[in-house]
Amino acid sequence: MKVQDFAYQVSSRVIDLLEQTQHYKIPEDLRKEVLATIQDELSDLIGKAS
pLDDT in tens, 2-21: 888 899 999 999 999 999 99
Q: What is the mean pLDDT of the chain?
A: 91
Closest CA to 8 of 47, 37, 46, 43: 37
Alpha helices in the chain (DSSP H): 3-22, 28-40, 42-49
pLDDT, residue 32, reads 94
Examine the pLDDT at 1 and tell me if it is beyond 90. no
1 versus 44: which is more confidently predicted? 44
| pTM of the predicted protein model | 0.78
